[in-house]
Amino acid sequence: MSKRDYYEVLGVSREAGEQEIKKAYRKLLKEYHPDVHPDKKLAEEKIKEINEAYEVLSDPDKRAQYDQFGHAGPGSGGFDFGGADFGGGFGDIFDMFFGGGMGGGQRRGPQKGADLRFNMSLSFEEAAFGVEKEVEIPRMEACDVCGGSGAEPGTTAQTCPTCHGSGRVATVSKTFLGNVQTVRPCSTCGGEGKIINKPCRHCGGQGKVRKHRKIKVNVPGGVDSGTRIRVPAEGEAGERGGPPGDLYVFVEVLSHSFFDRDGDDVTCQVPVNFVQAALGTEIEVPTLDGKVLVKVPEGTQSGTVIRIRGKGIKRLRGTGRGDQRIEIKVSVPTKLSDKQKELLREFGKTLSLDNISNEKEKSFFDKVKDAFM
């Protein structure tokens, strides 16, 4: 199979400068890194092709020969890569450009602990007014016996003899660019810089143990399903003296048998019979604060909404509360006695358009009347 053009391999033009070629090379190395590319075999083949192209185009003399003679080089023997040794394989090449591979080789310092999540269910009323809840969280905490050091009480961790406490070791590799020094985490101490010869018997040298901790969570009034409450420093213990993570409480509000919610407003439906709707009445309506008397005006239609100010949900961001909106549903009787039917028929004979207060209904009846005239 014929070789691809080196400029095409690196994705640069023939006029590309040294820095542009180097930048393209680094980008491709990262793209085809065996640790991130899904096809390991393809990644290795690509890296070989990319390295070969870069060795030629990064060398002014070899590049000039390639521009003049192509892959054949001067004569017909092709390019001599001088038995280039890439040291420990692809790893050293990545170390050279990315500082000890994709993960870097610096010793890790104090690290914040992991955050935790807790799902909390609240009643409709608890979400409306707020509540203090006690939750039990399983989490990793610093060992009480060794104080988080990981060493048995009375002993201390020793400085690593390999890296001398730095957590890093340097190696020199021979590459096509010459000798390159790379830095990796120390394999003896795992990059910690210290070795625990006598681990704590309680935590096994980890410095942390799993515990169940009861935590009080203040839930503000006005929360809704999906609200996230942050409780600082109640997550997992940190690493190497780092601060603990946070606890995030995710709220789920349970449905109510009578009330619904619309933003900060509470909504409900209340039935009245057609006599109450026609003559007007007072009805007892439940609210979050208890029952209240609500006046239903004379001639109220089904679907009419009556608003009670300040009887809704506490505003999460702001002051005061929303309202309660009561939708009136006029109930039409389905089971009538003969006497009730007769009375209604007599009543119906007395009705006229003058008894209709709704202008839309008046207009409709006028149209019907005109149609039969």
Residue ranges of the binding site for Zn(2+): 143, 146, 160, 163, 186, 189, 200, 203
**And the tokens for 77?**
């023997």
- CB 246 within 8 Å of CB 235: yes
Phi, psi torsion values for 340, nearest 5 degrees: -65, -40
Phi-psi region of 290 (alpha: psi -120 to 50; beta: other; left: phi over 0): left
Per residue, what are the HEC states of 122-145? ECHHHHHHEEEEEEEEEEEEECCC
Q: Which among 255, 260, 253, 320 is positioned nearest to 286, based on CA atoms?
A: 260
**Cα 230 to Cα 140, 142, 218, 235, distances in angstroms:** 18, 21, 10, 10
Distance CA 76, CA 164 (A): 53
List binding-site positions.
143, 146, 160, 163, 186, 189, 200, 203
List 217's β-bridge partners, or say none. 133
